[in-house]
Amino acid sequence: MTENFEVAIIGAGTAGLAALREVRKQTDNFVLINHGPYGTTCARVGCMPSKALIEAASAFHRRKAFAEFGIRGGEGLAMDIPSALERVRRLRDGFVAGTLKATEDLGARNLAGRARFLEPNLLEVGARRLRAGKIIIATGSRPIIPEDWRSLEDRILTSDTLFEQTDLPDKMAVIGLGVIGVEMAQALARLGIEIHAFDRGSWVGNLSDPDINQTAQDCLETEFKLYCGATAELSAAEDKVRIRAEGVDMVVDKVLAALGRRPNLDGLGLEALGLSLDGKGVPPFDPLTMQVADLPIFIAGDCNQRAPVLHEAADDGHIAGRNAVAESPQCHARRTPMAIVFSDPNIAQVGRRFSDLDQAQTLVGAVSFKRSGRALAAASNRGALRVYADKHSGTLLGAEICAPQGEHMAHLLALAIQQNLCVNDLLRLPFYHPVVEEGLRKALRRLAKQLPAAPASDLAGCDAFGAEALD
C-alpha cells in the first residue's frame, strides 16, 4: 500500500530541519525520513566539536606568549588530551540534545530509514512506499576517503571519528589543507602533537588571493610542517602509516583525512528523475528557489555542494521548505558569500573571490597587521588583509583575510558588501580606537587614494597619521 503525504523531507540535518520548520507552518501531512544518526553534522561531528577542540588547543597555546607578558611558569603547563577530548564530547552531547528537540514531537511522521526515489513523486523506504506532492532532498555530505586508504582502517581518522578518540598519538599527518585540514592541523599541533600537513595543491583554507595565501602559509608554518603541492602516498608500516611524497618518506601514528566531502546522493535513486547529474551526482537546481529542474523536488544544504557551510544550509532549507508548500516556487535573494576558517589568525573570504574578479576592473587595498596597535598589545600582530573594489564606482566587491579577529572584520565587510556600500561609505562609518578594525580602515584608505577624492567636508577623507597610537 502506498502512503500519501503533502511533503517528504529526506535528511534531518540543519537543512532538513530548517525546511521542516517552514513546512509545519502550513501542513501536518508531512514525513521526515532520516538515514543515520540524528543530531546534525554541525552539532555531532562538525562546527561545534571542532570549535570546542580549537578553543582547548588555543588556550594551551597561549602559554607561548606568557613570557612576553611577563608571566613566568608557562613552560611548566601540560596538556591533558584525554580530558580535553572528554570536554569536547560533553559539549557536543549538549549541542546534539538541543537539535533533537526539533524532532521529538513528530511521532510516526519521523521515519528512520534510507529513502530511494522510484519516481519523481514516489519514494521507497525499506518495505514502505511513500508518495509525496513535494520532496526535499537534504541528505548532507560525508568525508572522502580514497578507496586504497581503507585497508589502513582506524589509522585513518576523519572529522567523523576524530572527536571520538579517547587519546591522540604523538605524531600525525593531516592530508588536505582546505578548511577542516587547516583548522584541525593547527589545533592538533597546539595540543602538542607533531603534525605534518600535506595538500596536493598550493592553496590553504580555500583562499584564492596569492598574497593572503602566502601570509596564511607563513603563519601556519610556524606551528607545524606544511607540504604544499605534495601528493602523499600512504601505506601500512606495522601498526603505523608510511607517507611518501616528493622528498618525504616518514612514518606517522595516524592520519587525519581532510580531502573534502562527497554529497550523500548516491543510492538515492536519482536516476529515476530522468535528469543528467554533474560529476558529483548533483542534479541541476535553481539556487534562488532550490527547485530541481522543473520537478516537484527541492535540494538543500551540503548535498547540493553550492556553499557547504551552516548558515547557507539553513537558508537553503528555509527556501526549500517555503517553496514546497507554496503554490509556485518563489525566488529568494541570497546572502553575500562568506567563509571563515577558525584558525589563528582567522582566514576568511567575503563577497567575490579574488580569482573570480576581473583584475583590470578591480582596485586592491592591502594592509599588514604586523604594526596594528591593538594586535601588538595582544601579541597577535601577524597576518594581512586585502579588500577589492570596483575601479570606477568604488563599490566594495570582496576581501580575503588572514588576520587576528578576521572573523569579525569578515562580518563587517559582508554587511557593507550586502548593502552595496562604496569604499568612502565605509570610511564614513565610525572606527573605535584601538581595535584591529583600524587595519581594515587602513586598507580602505589605500583604496580611497586610488579613487576620486571624497569632498573636503567629508570624514571619509580623514588621513592616517602613520603612528599606532594616533590611528
Ligand X SMILES: Cc1cc2nc3c(=O)[nH]c(=O)nc-3n(C[C@H](O)[C@H](O)[C@H](O)COP(=O)(O)OP(=O)(O)OC[C@H]3O[C@@H](n4cnc5c(N)ncnc54)[C@H](O)[C@@H]3O)c2cc1C
Ligand Y SMILES: NC(=O)c1ccc[n+]([C@@H]2O[C@H](COP(=O)([O-])OP(=O)(O)OC[C@H]3O[C@@H](n4cnc5c(N)ncnc54)[C@H](O)[C@@H]3O)[C@@H](O)[C@H]2O)c1
Query: What x-and-dash track marks residues 253-292 binding ligand Y by CB under 6 A?
Result: -----xxxx-------------------------------
For the CB of residue 332, give the shortest distance to ligand X in the complex, in Å.
17
Identify what 36 binds: ligand X, ligand Y, none; CB under 5 to 8 Å per kind: ligand X
4's CB contacts (< 8 A; 6+ apart) are 130, 131, 132
Cα 33 to Cα 99, 136, 186, 272, distances in angstroms: 16, 10, 37, 19
Query: Which lies closer to ligand Y via its Cβ, residue 339 or residue 443?
Result: 339
Contacts with ligand X: how many residues (CB under 6 A)? Answer: 35
Q: How far apart are CA 81 and CA 70, in angstroms?
A: 27
CA-based torsion, 369, 375, 376, 382: positive or negative: negative
- Judged by beta carbon, residue 12 or residue 427, the one nearer ligand X is 12
Residue 40 in contact with ligand X, rule: CB under 6 A: yes
Name the residue among 335, 293, 267 with its Cα closest to residue 135: 293
**Residue 437 binds ligand Y, judged by CB under 6 A:** no
Q: Interface with ligand X includes 176 (CB under 6 A)?
A: no
Q: Which residues contact 104 (CB under 8 A, 6 or more apart)?
A: none
Q: Could you say which residues in the range 58-117 bind ligand X, by CB under 6 A?
A: 114-115
Q: From ligand Y, ligand X, none, which one binds at residue 231 (CB under 5 to 8 Å depending on kind)? A: ligand Y
Site string for ligand X, 197-236 (x = CB under 6 A): ----------------------------------------
Instruction: Tell me the C-alpha distance between 58 and 157, whole Å.
Output: 22
**Whether 329 contacts 402, CB under 8 Å:** no
The verdict on 198 binding ligand Y (CB under 6 A) reads yes
199 contacts ligand Y (rule: CB under 6 A): yes
If one asks whether residue 347 binds ligand Y (CB under 6 A), the answer comes out as no
- The pairing of beta strand 194-199 with beta strand 171-175: parallel
Q: Which of 392, 409, 397, 393 is nearest to 351 (CA)?
A: 397
- C-alpha–C-alpha distance, residues 74 and 79, integer Å: 12
Choose among ligand X, ligand Y, none what residue 384 binds, the Cβ cut-off being 5 to 8 Å by kind. none
Quick one: how far is CA 149 from the chain centroid? 25
Site string for ligand X, 288-307 (x = CB under 6 A): -------------xxx----
**What character string, x for contact with ligand Y (CB under 6 A) and - otherwise, covers 57-96?**
----------------------------------------
- In sequence order, what are the residues at sequence separation of 6 or more whose Cβ sits closer than 8 angstroms to the Cβ of residue 335? 311, 312, 315, 414, 418
Q: Is 157 among the residues that bind ligand X (CB under 6 A)?
A: no
Q: What sign does the dihedral 379-85-14-281 (CA atoms) show?
A: positive
Shortest Cβ 326–ligand X spacing (Å): 21
In the complex with ligand X, the residue whose CB is nearer, 116 or 200, is 116
Calculate the CA 460 to chain-centre distance: 34
Q: Does 200 bind ligand Y (CB under 6 A)?
A: yes
In the bound state with ligand X, the residue whose beta carbon lies nearer, of 93 and 218, is 93
Q: Measured from the CB atom, is 172 or 422 closer to ligand X?
A: 172
Q: Which of 7, 8, 10, 357 binds ligand X (CB under 6 A)?
A: 10
Is the Cβ–Cβ distance between 341 and 182 less than 8 Å?
yes
Cβ-contact 145, 151 below 8 angstroms? no
Cα–Cα distance, 152 to 420 (Å, whole number): 51
Residue owning grid cell 573636503: 456
Stretch of 12-20, 58-66, 236-244, 376-384 lying at the interface with ligand X (CB under 6 A): 12-20
State how far the alpha carbon of 347 is from the alpha carbons of 16, 373, 386, in Å.
Answer: 29, 20, 12
Of residues 303, 302, 301, the one with CA closest to residue 318: 301
Show the binding pattern over residues 336-355: x = contacts ligand X (CB under 6 A), - = does not: ------x-------------
Q: Which of 15, 32, 177, 402 binds ligand Y (CB under 6 A)?
A: 177
Q: Does 179 bind ligand Y (CB under 6 A)?
A: yes
- Least distance CB 252 / ligand Y (angstroms): 15
Copy the grid coordinates of residue 311: 548558515
Q: Closest approach of Cβ 144 to ligand Y, in Å?
A: 7
The residue ranges that bind ligand X (CB under 6 A) are 10-16, 33-36, 40-42, 46-47, 50, 114-115, 138-140, 159, 180, 264, 268, 301-303, 308-311, 313, 342
User: Which residues in this chain contact ligand Y in the complex, by CB under 6 A?
Assistant: 175-181, 183, 198-201, 206, 231-232, 258-261, 308-309, 339-342
